[in-house]
């Protein structure tokens, strides 16, 4: 992976973490990027190196707070230990889906089971 690819990913991660200057829980964002973290680790990057890259990408972003290597490592370990479901979810359970529409670019329509509501 080239340096500019790593920096580009770090900017995307920070943008996902701080939409509109509001901090989203780190674990939620790491879950979206878990494969990239695994790839970076497989390439030999340390948690400190990844944390430094994220901090460089977030230094001018409102609402961004530096992330320690230990926090990244712990969250990744928790995500890695989370069991993966082997069967699809039962259809009788309520599901939550977000769809993008022209009216609202942030994910406008949320469906709860058979009930749809605009957000």
> For residues 63 and 82, what is the distance between their CA atoms, to the nearest angstrom?
29
> For residues 23 and 74, what is the distance between their CA atoms, to the nearest angstrom?
19
Query: Which pTM was predicted?
Result: 0.66
Strands in the chain per DSSP E: 96-99, 109-112, 115-118
pLDDT band at 82 (very low <50, low <70, confident <90, very high): low
User: What distances in angstroms separate CA 84 from CA 12, 16, 24, 26, 30, one per listed residue?
Assistant: 26, 23, 23, 20, 16
Residue 96 has pLDDT above 50, yes or no: no
Express each pLDDT in 72-81 by its tens digit: 999 999 997 7
Residue 94 has pLDDT above 90, yes or no: no
* Boundaries of every domain in the chain: 3-81, 89-119
Instruction: Give me the pLDDT at residue 85, please.
Output: 54
Express each pLDDT in 99-113 by its tens digit: 444 444 444 334 434
Mean pLDDT to the nearest integer, 75-97: 61
> For residues 51 and 73, what is the distance between their CA atoms, to the nearest angstrom?
10
Kindly compute the dihedral angle of the four CA atoms of residues 7, 11, 12, 18, in this order, to the nearest 10 degrees: 150
- Tell me the two tokens of residue 42: 């497989």
């Amino acid at each position: 992976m080239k340096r500019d690819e790593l920096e580009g990913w770090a900017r995307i991660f920070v943008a996902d973490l701080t939409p509109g200057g509001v901090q989203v829980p780190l674990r939620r964002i790491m879950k979206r990027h878990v494969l990239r973290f695994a790839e970076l680790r497989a390439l030999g990057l340390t948690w400190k190196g990844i944390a430094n890259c994220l901090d460089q990408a977030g230094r001018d972003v409102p609402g961004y707070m530096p992330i320690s290597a230990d926090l990244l490592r712990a969250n990744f370990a928790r995500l890695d230990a989370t069991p993966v479901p082997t069967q699809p979810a039962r259809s009788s359970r309520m599901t939550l889906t977000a769809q993008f529409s022209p009216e609202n670019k942030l994910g406008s329509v949320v469906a709860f089971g058979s009930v749809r509501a605009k957000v």
